Amino acid sequence: MLKIAVVGAQDILGQELVRTLEMHHCSVLPLASGPLTKEQEENDIVAFAPTPELIQDYDAVILAKPEPTGLLDQFSGRILDVTAGASRGVPAPLTGSWGDDKRVFVRPAVEQILLLLPQLVENLASISGVYLRSVSHRGESGLMELHQQSVAVLQGEEPDITPLGYRAAFEVVPQKPKGRIIDILTPTFYGDLLVLHLVNLQKTMSKKIDAPPQVLWVDTPPTSRDVATRSEVLVYADVDSSGQYVTLVIGFDPILWGVLQPMVRLLSLKV
Give span(s): CATH 3.40.50.720, the chain. Answer: 3-106
Q: How far is 228 from 234, CA to CA, in rounded Å?
A: 11
Q: How far is 68 from 34, CA to CA, in rounded Å?
A: 8
Q: With bands split at pLDDT 50, 70 and 90, how would you rate the model's confidence at 143?
A: confident
**pLDDT per position as a tens digit, 209-253:** 988 888 999 999 999 999 987 889 999 999 999 999 999 999 998
What is the fold, at CATH topology level, of the domain defined by 113-254?
Dihydrodipicolinate Reductase; domain 2 (3.30.360)
List all residues 6 or more positions away from 115 whose beta carbon is below 8 Å from its beta carbon: 94
**pLDDT per position as a tens digit, 161-212:** 988 888 989 999 999 998 999 999 999 888 999 999 999 999 999 999 988 8
Average pLDDT, the chain: 89
Classify domain 3-106 by CATH number: 3.40.50.720
Model pTM? 0.81
Q: What's the sign of the alpha-carbon dihedral 263, 113, 192, 131?
A: positive
Give span(s): CATH 3.30.360.10, the chain. Answer: 113-254
